[in-house]
Amino acid sequence: MLRLRKCFSGALAVALGAGLAGCVEPYAPDVISAPNSYLVVDGFVNLQGISTIRLSRTKGLNDPVPPPAETRATGYLQDDAGARYPLAELGAGTYASAFLYLSPARKYQLHLHTAAGRDYESDLVAAKLAPPIDNLSWDRDALGVHVQVSAHDATSATRYYRWTYVETWEFRSAYPSFLMYNPNTRVIEPRTEDIYHCWATAPSTTIPLGKTTALSQDVVANFPVVSLPENSAKLRIKYSVLVRQYAQTPEEYAYWEKLKKNTEDIGTLFDPLPTQLTGNVHCLQDAAEPVLGYVGATTVTERRLFIDNSSFPRSIKFQTGYETCVPPDTVRLSAAQSYFSSPTSLPLEELYNSRDGTLMGYSGASAGCVDCRLRGTNVKPSFWP
C-alpha cells in the first residue's frame, strides 16, 4: 500500500489524492491554496473555568514556518441574554477570560474584532455538561499499549464526546554527566545540576471522538484515546496521561469528525479525500469569507493515569530515544579546553591512569546525547509521584 505524506496547517489539513494509471497528484482545499490567509479560531466556552481562544492564520501548503498568530485582537463571550465576558490577550494570539461559572441553561457565542478592523462572531450554541470520567485504564495487546476511557450519562443528554490528552513521561539521556566546563574560568568542574533525568510533555496528536447515539444507554466503555507501541520510549521509566472529556452538540461533533478525517485518515490511496472545513464562526463584513473553527460551550472533566515500567515483562526492550548516539569520546587533558569550550560537547567524567591514579583526561559526548533538558525539563512535575 502506498503511504502518502500528510500535512497539517493550523486547523486545516491537506491530503493527497490518487489519479488514474498510478499517477498521484496533490490536492489542497481552496482555503489553503488561495493567496489569502484566513482566520483560524481554536477554543470553546468553558462553563466552569477559564475560556481560552487561540487565533491564527492559515498558511501555504509548503510553508515551513508555523501558522502566524492573530495578535492585537479584542473579543468577548456573550450569552443569549446579552451578558458579556471579556477576553484578554495573554500571549501572541492567545486570549482568555476570567475564571467563570456560566449557566448551562443559556446559549453562548464568541465575538472578535481584529486589528485589521474585521469582525467575527460564532453562532449561538447550547451549553453542554460533560459527565465525569468513570475510569481511565490501560491494556496491552499485539498492537501496543492503549489508554481507555469509560464514562456514562444517566440522563442520556451527552451522546457526543470528544477527548484531548496531555502526555508526560520520565526519561534519561544517553549518558550522565558529572562535570561541566566553566567558560568564565575555563576550568572543568563538578556539575551541580542534574541533566540526566528529565520529564517531557506533549499535547494531543490525534482527535479521539465517540458517540453513543446507536446505544440504548449513554455509556462509553473502554474507548481507546491514546495508543503507544509497547516498546515506546515514553514507557521506559514512568508514563502519565491526563485525559480531558468534553460534551458536544451533533453539529460540533460533525465538525470535529471532518477535521479528524482531514488530519488523521488521509494517507493512503484508499482514504477519503479532504473536505472543505468550516465551522460556526463567520465574518460580519463578508459572509463568504472562510473562517476555520467551531466554538462550542461545555464543562470539562478530567482524569490522570500513571503507567510504570514494572508493569511490563522484562523481555520488552524499550526504546530510549537516543539510539543514534555514539559511544563517548576520550579527550586528553591537553585538548580538553578546546574540545569542551564548544557548547555542543559536554564532559562526562574524569579518566585516570589505572597504574598511578593520575588524571589523564575526560570522557565526553555531544550535548544532544547528554543534556536531557534539550528534550524536556529537569524540574519534576508537581503531580509526579
- pLDDT, tens digit, for every residue of 294-314? 999 999 999 999 999 999 999
Mean pLDDT of 149-155: 99
pLDDT value at residue 158: 98
Strand partners, 377: 199
Positive or negative, the CA dihedral 280, 287, 37, 97 is: negative
Of 262, 285, 266, the C-alpha closest to 116 is 285
Indicate if the pLDDT at residue 369 is higher than 80. Answer: yes
The phi and psi torsions of 339 (rounded to 5 degrees) equal -70, -45
Please name the residues in contact with 148: beta carbons below 8 A apart, sequence gap of 6 or more: 136, 137, 138, 139, 222, 223, 224, 225
pLDDT at 15 (0 to 100):
30
Cell numbers representing residue 53 in the block? 481562544
Average pLDDT over residues 337-366: 97
Q: 9-32: per-residue pLDDT in tens?
A: 343 333 323 332 333 344 455 554
Q: Is 373 helix (H, G, I), strand (E, B) or coil?
A: helix
Asked if residue 348 has pLDDT above 70, the reply is yes
Structural domain boundaries in the chain: 1-128+248-304, 175-196+328-374
How much is the pLDDT for 26? 47
Confidence at residue 59, expressed as pLDDT on a 0 to 100 scale: 81
The pLDDT of residue 27: 47
Section 359-367 average pLDDT? 98
Mean pLDDT, rounded, of the chain:
90
Query: Band of the pLDDT at 272, cuts 50, 70, 90?
Result: low
Residue 6 has pLDDT above 50, yes or no: no
What is the structure's pLDDT at 269?
45
Q: Compute the half-sphere exposure of residue 18: CA atoms within 13 Å on the CB side of its CA.
A: 14
Q: What is the pLDDT of residue 278?
A: 82
Does residue 4 carry a pLDDT above 50? no
Per-residue CA distances from 315 to 202, 307, 309, 311, 319 (Å): 27, 17, 12, 12, 13
- Mapped onto helix, strand or coil, the DSSP state of residue 347 is strand
Give the pLDDT score at 263.
84
Residue pLDDT, tens place only, 221-252: 999 999 999 999 999 999 999 999 999 999 99
Bridge partners of residue 211, in order along the sequence: 160
Note the pLDDT of residue 266.
61
Kindly give, in sequence order, each residue whose CB lies less than 8 Å from that of residue 251, ignoring residues fewer than 6 positions away.
Answer: 125, 280, 294
Q: Does pTM surpass 0.85? A: yes
Secondary structure (DSSP) of 78-125:
EETT--EEEEEEEETTEEEEEEEE--TTSEEEEEEE-TTS-EEEEPPE
Examine the pLDDT at 267 and tell me if it is beyond 70.
no
